[in-house]
Chains A and B, each alone.
Chain A
Amino acid sequence: MEVLTLLWDGILTAFEPQNLLLMFIGVTAGLFIGAMPGLGSVNGVAILLPATFLVPPTSALIFLAAIYYGAMYGGAISSVTLGIPGASTAVATTFDGRPLALKGRADRALVTAALASFIGGTVANLLFTGFAPPLASVALRFGPPETFALMLLAFSTFVGLGGDDVPKTIFSVAFGLLLATVGADPVEGTPRLMFFGLEAFRANINFLVLAIGVYGIGEMLWTINSTRNKVTMTEAKISAKGIVDSAKEASGAWRGTAIGSFLGFFVGILPAAGATPGSLMAYGITKMTSKKPEEFGKGSLDGVAAPEAANNSASTGSMLPMLTLGIPGSPTTAILLGGMVLWQLEPGPRMFSDRADIVWPLIGSFYVSNLIAVVVNLAFIPLFLWMLRMPFTILAPIIFVLSIVGGYAATEKIYDVWLIVIFGVLAFFMRKLDYPVAPMVLAIVLGPITEETFRQTLTRSRGDFGAFFESAIAAPIIIIALLLIFMPLIKSIWRKLRPRKAREGT
């Protein structure tokens, strides 16, 4: 019952005028960011984080979480009306959303998406509220080896589940971790990796510098290069009556919604998985278990509801490890986590006991933001459609300006702005060559804690690596992590062995 009291207090705090206003702005901005092709929640959160220094950390977190939510709703708008996903999280929504729009039923697709998102978000919030406090209390007993094991697990999920090229993923993780070591050594204070002897590197490279470079500059370059400035949309007629009628029809999509809501949450918890694979999996499973699988891809409402419920649910799911264990469940939560460090909060299980004044209002805000998002989404669909007509040649320079100004405001050093530009160009080339960039951003955020716990463990054991396997919690986590890292290798060996067995059998 204590949880309910805390939650209720949290919701009340979320309802304070300033927070309510921030949620409204955040959700609206998020909807727009999500709807704009080339921009997703992670870009929005990275670029707008510096703007939140204006308000206290609690409100800042509430605002950024609202952007996250809004973006999950917004992705569907462009998936349906443009036929291209507004964010990678809404890729699966195009499969059935687009055919519906081409049949002149865009309103039904959009309303179903919004309602499924709302239900997905609500289910995930309830699951979150139930799971988070016990998980945090278990995690409270974690020492350095356990924490290091968790970090390793977070990185290994990218290798085992990320689906990208394995050596390139590991390279990206190692590079991100290495960037986190630039500057003064946290233990001894000696300067490390002072490139070209520049004094500027004595301070650590702020994670925001990399995040804004990758998601502000790099992603924009990528989008300009791949869309060739030719993003065009088709009309979708929306009327108030249409929304009401559609809402009645949307209730038929309950199966997709239910599958998406639960599946999304659990997939969202995994650091490498998150909303994009969550929504694709939800779509696949809904189709597989459907009585009319042939309707999928031709405009099934279930096919719209499943991925949309899943991506909202996954966004809440990815907050679970962030708030309880201090490891982010998605790139967006990695940036939120970095923000918490900037605000001198110590993310991790202690947040629940020491900073209940921040955790519970944030959780409360999930509920309220979700409600605001569905209302704003349904009420302003025509407005968002109008805004989507903004040419990319206007949006892109604005994003560049926001990245540069925001990046400067975060650290107030012009050399950081140069780093942002360098990282942006680097990220563009890395993406061109299929190097995943998300693990790099996650790694720079988790870098300091990973190194610290690694060194603490070894210092305590006087250099004995066996210490990582002595703990009853750390050992299994490390073994799972290693299995995940070697999974692609095991798989390829398995594949080579099987045909031979098959041949021998015949």
Chain B
Amino acid sequence: MRKAEIIGAIVFALFSIYLMWKSGEVASWDTAGRFSNLWFNEYGEPETGFWPFALSVIMFICCIWIGVNWWRRTSPPSRSTDIFLDRFGINMLITVVGGVVAFVALSSIISMYFAMTLFLIYYIGILGRNRWVTTLSVALGAPVVTFLFFEWQMRIVLPKGYAEPVFLPLYDIFLNTGAS
């Protein structure tokens, strides 16, 4: 935990420095150059980079402060001897976050609906070891409910990827605007 605390603070500090550098970026048409936008212009108005730059400086100061607390061992994580992520935690992150990432990645390829079904079968059936009847009823029910709610009622088109042709008959049934 102690190691994680300082690594976290260092990562956030580096990120803050990157943000300061990024805040100094000016629009491509601006000839004044990087970091010219961080203060007031000739009319006394704060320029575009002023606010984000100030915030990243505050973030950076906080990271140093966190580092000092770590060194003085005044914050609970800097004193804790617990393991930051035990075997369960690491496994959980890999299996659960991996599943979610695969779900989103597959959404743009095989449609959000099929991706959802696969994800639910994977999670409820394989990870959760629930009964297959339960697994399949949720996995097959969810896309139907989603389609009816989002596409039919709200007219929000979810990603279909290469599976678009499969949905064409459904469009004819549910999204027919009554033109025919």
Binding site for B on A (CB under 8 A): 51, 53-54, 165-168, 170-171, 174-175, 177-178, 181, 185, 187-188, 190-195, 217, 221, 224-225, 228-229, 391, 393-394, 396-398, 400-401, 404-405, 408-409, 412, 414, 417-418, 421, 424-425, 428-429, 432-435, 451, 454-455, 458-459, 461-464
Contact = CB atoms under 8 A, between A and B. Distances in A.
A473 to B, nearest CB: 22
A221 B97 contact: yes
30 contacts: A51-B149, A167-B62, A167-B65, A170-B58, A171-B66, A181-B52, A188-B48, A190-B30, A192-B23, A192-B49, A193-B23, A195-B22, A393-B124, A393-B129, A394-B128, A397-B138, A400-B123, A404-B112, A412-B157, A414-B104, A417-B104, A421-B100, A421-B104, A425-B97, A429-B8, A434-B77, A458-B40, A458-B46, A463-B44, A463-B46
Nearest to B86: A225
A185 B156 CA distance: 29
Interface string B60-102: 0111011001000001110000001100110011001101110
Nearest to B48: A185
A15 B6 CA distance: 55
A295 B56 CA distance: 51
A409 B104 CA distance: 14
Given A398-B138, A434-B77, A224 B96 contact: yes
Contacts of A405: 112, 116, 146, 150, 158
Contacts of A174: 55-56, 58-59, 62
Given A178-B52, A225-B89, A409-B158, A391 B5 contact: no
B59 A221 contact: no
A229 B156 CA distance: 34
A168 B44 contact: no
B120 A165 contact: no
Contacts of B108: 414
The binding surface of chain A is classed by DSSP as: helix
Contacts of B119: 397, 400-401
A8 to B, nearest CB: 33
B23 to A, nearest CB: 7
A404 B103 contact: yes
Interface residues of B, number: 71
A412 B100 contact: no
Contacts of A51: 149
| 8 nearest A-B pairs in the assembled complex, by CB-CB distance | A393-B128, A462-B44, A463-B44, A397-B123, A167-B65, A171-B62, A167-B62, A190-B27
B62 A170 contact: yes
The binding surface of chain B is classed by DSSP as: helix
B40 A178 contact: no
Contact of B8 (A396, A397, A425, A433): A433
Interface in B119-140: 119-120, 123-124, 127-130, 134, 138
A175 to B, nearest CB: 6
Given A393-B130, A400-B119, A408-B159, A168 B62 contact: yes
Interface in B1-54: 4-5, 8, 12, 19, 22-23, 25-27, 30, 40, 43-46, 48-52
B154 A421 contact: no
A432 B4 contact: yes
A22 to B, nearest CB: 14
Nearest to A452: B51
B142 A181 contact: no
Contacts of B99: 400
* Residue from B4, B19, B55 with most neighbouring chain A CB atoms (10 Å): B55
Given A174-B58, A393-B124, A418 B104 contact: yes
A407 to B, nearest CB: 10
Contacts of B30: 190
B51 A393 contact: no
A166 B63 CA distance: 11
B138 A394 contact: yes
A171 B59 contact: yes
Contact of A391 (B49, B58, B128): B128
A178 B89 contact: no
A269 to B, nearest CB: 26
B5 A433 contact: yes
A434 B156 contact: no
Given A397-B124, A404-B100, A435-B8, 15 more contacts: A167-B62, A167-B66, A167-B69, A181-B55, A194-B25, A229-B128, A393-B124, A409-B158, A417-B107, A418-B104, A421-B100, A433-B5, A455-B45, A458-B40, A462-B44
A178 B19 contact: yes
B104 A404 contact: yes
Nearest to A197: B25
A249 to B, nearest CB: 39
A478 to B, nearest CB: 16
Contact of A54 (B12, B23, B134, B153): B153
